[in-house]
Amino acid sequence: MSAATTTNDLPLQPSLALRIGLWAAQALIFALFTFAGVTKLFTPIPELSQMMPWTGDHSAAFVRIIGLIDLAGGLGILLPALTRIMPRLTVLAALGCTTLQVFALVFHLSRGEAAVTPLNIVLLALSLFVLWGRGSKAPIAPRG
């Protein structure tokens, strides 16, 4: 008998605390990534560079592409799981958010911007938690 089954061969259900923690992490990632994406997409670059100095050092196209990536990650981390339409996309979004935060950490550290990295570290940890949880411990079943 595997560790994933009970004596009745029924699959074990993830704990309520794990499920709540995953939904909370997904909601937080959704909020932060979506806000960041919309901000990078629609704020004029001169104004944006006052909030995020790196944006003034790169092309507007680069900043807008990062905004699209942020927005896609934010939407992808929550909506597929919430609607149960292709919920596996949530796992892929968590992988994308994880990868983005690794690159963001390297980027900010290379620019001497260590002061902004705590948020990246928190987002990295949350993304890894969702990747692990929705990937193996508490996946969302698709509709139907």
Nearest to 36 by CA among 100, 82, 89: 100
Q: Which two tokens stand for residue 26?
A: 């997904």
d(CA 54, CA 124): 20
The residue-averaged pLDDT of 14-39 equals 98
pLDDT averaged over the chain?
94
More confident site: 56 or 9:
56
d(CA 20, CA 93): 19
The residue-averaged pLDDT of 102-108 equals 98
List C-alpha distances in Å: 21 to 26, 85, 126: 9, 21, 10
pTM for the complete prediction? 0.90
Q: How does pLDDT run across 44-92, given as a tens digit for each residue? A: 999 999 999 999 999 999 999 999 999 999 999 999 999 999 999 999 9
Q: Is the pLDDT of residue 94 over 70?
A: yes
Task: Tell me what pLDDT residue 9 has.
Answer: 60
